[in-house]
Amino acid sequence: MIPVNQISLDGNEAKYLAECVSTNWISAEGPFVARLEKGVARLTGRRHAIAVMNGSVALDLAVAALGIGAGDEVILPSFTIISCAAALLRAGALPVVVDCEPATWNMDPAAVEAKITPRTKAIMAVHIYGLPVNMDPIWDIAARHDLKIIEDAAEEIGQIYWSEKAPPALTAALPDEGAEFAARIPRTVGSLADLSTLSFYPNKHITTGEGGMVLSDDDALAERCRALRNLSFGKKGRFIHEELGWNFRMSNLQAAVGVAQLERVSETIAKKREIGRWYNELLADLPWLQRPLERTEYARNIYWVYGVVLADDVPIDAEEAMKRLAEKGVGTRPFFWPMHQQPVLRRLGLFGGEACPVAERIARRGFYLPSGVALERNQAEQVALAVRDLFSLR
């Protein structure tokens, strides 16, 4: 079986974990947490990075830190992971969904303004699969309506967004794609909003097993995230609390793995792009298969995963295609299921009469191929053969 994700832990991961054990630093107080925060802040060009237990609670923390709560509405893509809507609902806020663009699978900025009401407090932009959200129009809308922005950058650590007008971030390493976007200004994904969140789940560009982060340039917001992450311990009396926080801390053990992963993040991203190029070449001539765009006018695909969508005239859907690929030893994952069609959210009385035709179509016809960083060329060739065989024979 070629798994949908294969990870690589052959850098300094074991060495740094052994260091945690030999120094007895395993809790969140240990030095690797600060090292990871500093390193990711540098990578993304942010002033502050706050490490947490996973990417889902990073969203809870961002929502809470921005003071989003009962009566507030937040606009987000329907085509995303449930963590985004769940964070809003847990805070008492209302998720308001927009459809995605058929070519990038990202939220459609043109659909946002129609959803704004006097209760709208923020936009949650989620970068999906490999291309960032077109942020320039999102920034314009947020500025016009005085809205906050949360950026869920879980899937695109290390990606660069090329803006038409925003000031450059304090970005560290830039990739060699400058000439292609000459008239635009590079901004690191993870620095495109008031608060940005990351996940370090094993399929992400940096993994800590489970882990996540909140990023910000705002001292007060960062301070608030740090307090809320750590049970909002009192400033005067440690156990006297002025507000309810969580224990969302990341342990030193997790961070040790993360620091080792961070040391190789450029290699990881280069490998992801190589995998993207392999599949582009191997699947180039299949008119019934929508492949990810190689680039847009504002970014080059980072291929966090290699998603494909079956054309409408293919007689089977994604579920059947994934079943047939599994029979041939190829692991896949379905695309996200739209928020407005989630049973749990519909039972809460949300999204009655909502339609997002693009999200609905790609959820049923889309899936992703093995895309892990340890994938080898011969495995990609086997995957491509299985895909070709499936639909050319039947």
Ligand X SMILES: Cc1ncc(COP(=O)(O)O)c(C=O)c1O
Return residues touching ligand X (CB under 6 A).
54-56, 80-81, 83, 126, 152, 154-155, 199, 201, 212
Burial pattern 121-159, b for ≥16 Cβ within 10 A else e, equals: bbbbbbbbbbbbbbbbebbebbeeeebbbbbbbbbbbbb
Q: How far is the CB of 309 from ligand X (least distance, A)?
A: 18
Distance of alpha carbon 266 from alpha carbon 277, whole angstroms: 17
Cβ nearer to ligand X, comparing 95 with 324:
95
Min CB(213)–ligand X separation in Å: 10
Question: How far, in Å, CA of 129 to CA of 380, rounded?
Answer: 18
Give the span between the Cα atoms of 26 and 31, in whole angstroms. 9
Minimum CB distance to ligand X smaller for 41 or for 76? 76
Per the CB < 8 A criterion, the answer to whether 129 and 105 are in contact is yes
Which CB sits closer to ligand X, 200 or 351? Answer: 200
Q: What distance in Å separates the CA atoms of residue 321 and residue 330, rounded to the nearest whole number? A: 11
Give the helix/strand (H/E) hosting 73.
strand 73-77
- Look at residues 297, 268, 295 and name the one whose alpha carbon lies nearest to residue 280: 295
Q: Which is nearer to ligand X, 120 or 196 (CB)?
A: 196
Closest contact distance (angstroms) between CB of 381 and ligand X is 27
Closest approach, Cβ 165 to ligand X, in A, equals 26
Half-sphere exposure of 47 (CA within 13 A, CB side): 11
User: With respect to ligand X, which residue has the nearer C-beta, 154 or 257?
Assistant: 154
Q: CB 372 → ligand X: shortest distance, Å? A: 14
CB nearer to ligand X: give 142 or 206.
206
C-beta of 13 vs 152, nearer to ligand X: 152
Closer of 199 and 387 to ligand X (Cβ): 199
- Dihedral sign computed on CA atoms, order 333, 335, 341, 345: positive
Pick the closer one to ligand X by CB: 201 or 368: 201
- DSSP state at residue 249: B
Residue carrying structure tokens 């000459």: 182
The residue whose Cβ lies closest to ligand X is 55
Q: Which amino acid, 79? A: F
* Residue indicated by tokens 């990739």: 175
Query: How near is the Cβ of 37 to ligand X at its closest, in Å?
Result: 16
Considering the complex, what minimum distance in angstroms separates the CB of residue 1 from ligand X? 22
The two structure tokens encoding residue 76? 């987000």
- C-alpha distances (whole Å) from 283 to each of 289, 294, 380 are 8, 13, 10
Q: Which two tokens stand for residue 66?
A: 């921005």
C-beta of 86: minimal distance to ligand X in Å? 10
Minimum distance from CB of 314 to ligand X (Å)?
26
- Compare residues 6 and 382 and give the one whose CB is closer to ligand X: 6
Whose structure tokens read 């052994």? 18
Rounded Cα distance, 269 and 261, in Å: 11
The pair of three-digit structure tokens given for residue 223, joined into one six-digit string: 């301070």
Element (H, E) at 124: strand 120-126
